[in-house]
């Protein structure tokens, strides 16, 4: 065999190994993120029986379910920076092992303040997104990073897994069994992740001080991405936590049934992130974000309308027209809403990969922080609005307003300055 043939075969073999390693890292990271997301969202289901047990009002329930989201948001920024410095493999493994302890301790809590305090520690699992996103992106070429980050982001399917699995475990073994099982799952996942992943090729390559790493936060584009992600991911997280009790109260369902129907929102909002990444690679992050927000705006307007009776005066007297949202319509609209939120989550990080390739860890951290803060604050605001207005659909009214702000922002900052149909510059 000639030397050129040997060289070509060597290159082809290296390419196969590289592709296999990239896929192994992607699958292992997605599994780790999925398990973390199940744990991060578990109070959305456990909180429903705890609401009766602890006699919580709507605001306190919102605080209970969203407290883990707060830590998951705040820790995304330092964990993103540590990922750039120490590598995604090391940071993710330590995170999985360290969070197993507070998750297990949940099973011994019996006061609201105890759940809130422990929730702050276990919430760190939510920061796994800021670790895995830049980590998996470094194993794929720029043209495929939208897909890779979208595929990894599909680990938010953990929200749907939580809605299916947690109520069943709770009904069979009691709610205290659930955090004990999930703590064990984190440790097992840490072992699988370590052996299936690989050394981060970008770890420690960026020199300079910590202050230098964070200088990118002075770029106005970073803060626009924070706004987009606060509604796409923040809205997705908040509704995933809020929807089981919403369906239980609005449609008179059992917790198991309500959680299963709520998965109609969470599942597409997770699985379709990979599709959103492909669309962002093909049409550009700007186009996917813009049109996805418009669809969300229309859907939220319809969902916002509470059950209403109109008294109409006719020539023959008065007649009453009743308007409400049937269950089938609710499921269809929330499915669509989950899908466009998924597209928006994926397209936001396509922006990050394209515009900040040297600072993906830090920018992923701050954008993820904004999304997580949205996921923390929104359930609390949902509870405050419900206690104040006594209208269950007020949660959708609030999200409608936030989407409207995002549409105005993207129009003023981007759409006016460039065409968006077929724009592949991003």
Between CA 301 and CA 107 the distance in angstroms is: 40
What's the CATH number where 59 sits?
1.20.1250.20
pLDDT at 422: 47
**Residue 409: inside a domain:** yes
Asked whether the predicted pLDDT for residue 39 surpasses 70, the reply is yes
**Residue 266: inside a domain:** yes
| Number of domains composing the chain | 1
Domain, as residue range, for 103: 19-197+219-415
| Average confidence (pLDDT) over 89-109 | 93
Least confident of 184-188, 333-337, 365-369: 365-369
**Residue 424: inside a domain:** no
Task: Give residue-wise pLDDT tens across range 18-31.
Answer: 788 889 999 999 99
**Cβ-based neighbour number of residue 145 at 10 Å:** 25
**Residue 36: inside a domain:** yes
pLDDT band at 71 (very low <50, low <70, confident <90, very high): confident
* CA within 13 Å, CB half, 423: 16
66 and 377 Cβ atoms separated by less than 8 Å: yes
Give the pTM.
0.70
pLDDT at 56: 86
**Residue 405: inside a domain:** yes
**Residue 3: inside a domain:** no
**Residue 2: inside a domain:** no
**Residue 206: inside a domain:** no
Using alpha carbons, select from 410, 136, 153, 131 the residue that is nearest to residue 277.
153
pLDDT at 424: 46
**What are 300's two structure tokens?**
């939220």
């Amino acid at each position: 065999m000639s030397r050129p043939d040997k060289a070509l075969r060597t290159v082809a073999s290296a390419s196969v190994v590289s592709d296999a390693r990239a896929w192994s890292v992607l699958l292992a990271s997605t599994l780790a993120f999925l398990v973390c997301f199940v744990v991060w969202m578990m109070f959305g289901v456990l909180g429903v029986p705890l609401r009766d047990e602890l006699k919580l009002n709507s605001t306190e329930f919102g605080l209970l379910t969203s407290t883990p989201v707060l830590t998951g948001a705040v820790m995304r920024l330092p964990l993103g920076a540590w990922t750039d410095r120490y590598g995604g493999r090391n940071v993710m493994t330590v995170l999985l092992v360290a969070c197993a302890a507070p998750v297990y301790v949940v099973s011994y809590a019996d006061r609201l303040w105890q759940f809130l305090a422990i929730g702050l520690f276990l919430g760190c699992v939510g920061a796994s997104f800021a670790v895995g996103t830049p980590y998996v992106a470094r194993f794929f070429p720029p043209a495929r990073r939208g897909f890779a980050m979208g595929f990894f982001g599909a680990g938010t399917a953990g929200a749907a897994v939580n809605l299916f699995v947690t109520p069943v475990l709770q009904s069979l073994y009691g709610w205290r069994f659930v955090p004990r099982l999930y703590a064990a799952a984190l440790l097992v996942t840490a072992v699988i992740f370590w052996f299936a992943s690989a050394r981060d090729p970008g770890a420690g390559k960026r020199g300079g001080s910590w202050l230098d790493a964070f200088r990118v936060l002075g770029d106005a584009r970073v803060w626009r991405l924070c706004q987009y992600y606060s509604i796409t991911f923040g809205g997705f997280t908040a509704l995933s936590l809020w929807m089981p009790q919403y369906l239980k109260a609005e449609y008179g369902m059992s917790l198991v049934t309500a959680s299963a129907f709520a998965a109609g929102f969470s599942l597409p909002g997770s699985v379709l992130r990979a599709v959103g990444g492909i669309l962002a690679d093909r049409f550009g992050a700007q186009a996917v974000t813009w049109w996805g927000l418009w669809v969300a705006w229309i859907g939220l307007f319809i969902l916002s309308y509470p059950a209403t009776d109109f008294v109409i005066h006719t020539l023959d007297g008065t007649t009453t027209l009743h308007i409400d949202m049937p269950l089938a319509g609710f499921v269809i609209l929330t499915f669509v809403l989950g899908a466009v939120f998924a597209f928006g989550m994926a397209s936001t990080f396509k922006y990050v990969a394209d515009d900040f390739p040297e600072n993906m860890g830090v920018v992923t951290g701050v954008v993820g922080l904004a999304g997580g803060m949205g996921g923390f604050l929104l359930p609390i605001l949902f509870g405050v609005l419900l206690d104040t207005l006594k209208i269950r659909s007020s949660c959708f009214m609030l999200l409608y307003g936030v989407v409207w702000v995002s549409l105005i922002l993207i129009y003023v900052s981007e759409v006016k300055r460039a065409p968006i149909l077929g724009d592949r510059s991003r």
